């Protein structure tokens, strides 16, 4: 639908431009007898400043998931779109893989997740994965979930792989702000996820009260400094939250000791939410 509407808009703009050019040439020819200029190609884009990601990088993330699927053997990979601004409309998002010639529509589920098709032409053209939303209006993450887990829990191995694939796919939306420079300096490879305390932000389904790790008889409640994008600490990041891709989801963010192998991949991450009784 978006591609069809875009084609109509382009056609209308080209028609208007050609008509104006024709009138100008006709008047100029009458007044000065000048030779008509050759036609000019007019390019238009419905959304000149989209929030988009590299198709090649996202495919590399998919390749990494397949290579390290053993971390989450029963899970599948999806990508997820999340709001970054309060005014962002998350309804009826249209998504396309757009290259110089390639235009591959991508279906977005009601929960704002999607899978990415493999397309050789789009890969060759270094295409972009482009929603019909403006830059800085949304952010991106991976979603890797093992089915059959208890309610309000995630599996640590799934989240470890989410971080690695997200890093490889270049999904974290940064900018040139202080916060963007801080994360940009360390968010370079999936190996970052093997650190004991990576500053990789995960998003829970609802505003959080607490997060706990549970492995057998061992339980540990995460410190509050690992919640809310570190807004409770004194590192100065709380002053830069408007530059973080967690801006409107800060009450849902949490960090995990991904590289601490004393917590096995089957460790459960248990959530208590603000709206729990």
pLDDT at 6 > cutoff 90: no
Mean pLDDT of 164-189: 67
Buried (b) or exposed (e) across 110-141, using 16+ Cβ within 10 A?
eebbbebeebeebeebebbbbbbbeebbbbbb
With the C-alpha atoms ordered 116, 118, 122, 126, is the resulting torsion angle positive or negative?
positive
Backbone angles phi, psi at 48, to 5 degrees: -75, -10
User: What is the distance between the alpha carbons of residues 235 and 199, in angstroms, rounded to a whole number?
Assistant: 13
Quick one: pLDDT band at residue 181, thresholds 50, 70, 90? Answer: very low
| C-alpha torsion sign, points 21, 23, 24, 30 | positive
Q: Is 268 found in the same domain as 207? A: yes
Pairing of strands 153-155, 113-114: unpaired
Are residues 167 and 219 both part of a single domain?
Answer: yes
pLDDT surpassing 50 at residue 185: no
pLDDT of residue 172: 83
Q: What is the pLDDT of residue 243?
A: 72
- Please tell me the predicted confidence (pLDDT) of residue 245: 86
The tally of domains found in the chain comes to 2
The residues with which 153 forms a beta bridge, in sequence order, are 270
Is residue 34 domain-shared with residue 58, that is, in the same domain?
A: no
CA distance linking residue 124 with residue 55, whole number of Å: 10
With bands split at pLDDT 50, 70 and 90, how would you rate the model's confidence at 187? low
Provide the strand spans (E) within the chain.
53-54, 76-83, 95-98, 103-106, 113-114, 128-131, 138-145, 153-155, 202-203, 208-215, 218-221, 253-254, 268-273
Among the residues of the chain, which ranges form H helices? Answer: 2-32, 55-67, 120-124, 156-169, 178-186
Are residues 149 and 251 located together in one domain of the fold? yes
The model scores a pTM over 0.85: no
Co-location of 32 and 120 in the same domain: no
pLDDT digits (tens, 9 = 90+) for 104-154: 999 999 999 999 999 999 999 999 999 999 988 999 999 999 999 999 999
* Claim to verify: residue 142 and residue 229 sit in the same structural domain: yes
More confident residue, 174 or 83: 83
41 and 141 within one domain: no
Is residue 110 domain-shared with residue 169, that is, in the same domain? yes
**41 and 58 co-located in one domain:** no
Q: How many CB atoms lie within 10 A of CB 98?
A: 22
Helices 55-67, 156-169: axis angle to 10 degrees equals: 150
Same domain, 112 and 242: yes
Domain residue limits at 33: 1-46
Is a pLDDT exceeding 90 seen at residue 260?
A: yes
What integer pLDDT is reported at residue 242 of this predicted model?
Answer: 63
Length of the chain: 277
The predicted structure's pLDDT at residue 151: 95
The model's confidence at residue 189, banded by pLDDT at 50, 70 and 90, is confident
Q: What is the model's pLDDT at position 48?
A: 58
Contact 141, 166 (CB under 8 A): yes
Asked if 103 and 200 sit in the same domain, the reply is yes
Shared-domain flag, residues 13 and 63: no
């Amino acid at each position: 639908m978006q591609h069809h509407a875009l084609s109509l808009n382009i056609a209308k703009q080209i028609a208007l431009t050609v008509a104006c050019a024709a009138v100008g040439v006709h008047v100029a020819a009458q007044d000065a007898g000048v030779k008509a200029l050759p036609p000019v190609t007019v390019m238009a884009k419905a959304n000149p400043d989209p929030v988009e990601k590299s198709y090649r990088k996202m495919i590399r993330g998919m390749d990494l998931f397949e290579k390290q699927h053993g971390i989450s053997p029963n899970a599948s990979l999806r990508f997820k779109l999340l709001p970054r601004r309060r005014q962002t409309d998350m309804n009826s998002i249209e998504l396309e893989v757009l290259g110089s010639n390639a235009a591959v529509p991508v279906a977005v589920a009601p929960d704002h997740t999607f899978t990415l098709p493999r397309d050789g032409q789009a890969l060759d053209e270094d295409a972009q994965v482009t929603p019909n939303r403006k830059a800085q209006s949304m952010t991106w993450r991976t979603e890797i979930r093992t089915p059959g887990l208890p309610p309000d829990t995630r599996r640590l191995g799934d989240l470890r792989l989410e971080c690695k694939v997200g890093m490889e796919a270049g999904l974290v939306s940064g900018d040139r702000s202080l916060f963007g420079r801080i994360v940009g300096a360390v968010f370079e490879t999936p190996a970052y996820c093997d650190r004991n305390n990576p500053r990789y932000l995960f998003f829970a389904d609802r505003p959080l009260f607490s997060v706990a790790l549970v492995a057998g008889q061992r339980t540990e409640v995460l410190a509050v400094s690992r919640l809310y994008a570190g807004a409770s600490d004194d590192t100065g990041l709380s002053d830069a939250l408007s530059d973080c891709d967690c801006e409107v989801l800060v009450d849902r963010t949490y960090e995990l000791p991904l590289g601490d192998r004393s917590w096995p991949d089957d460790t459960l991450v248990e959530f208590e939410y603000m709206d729990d009784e």
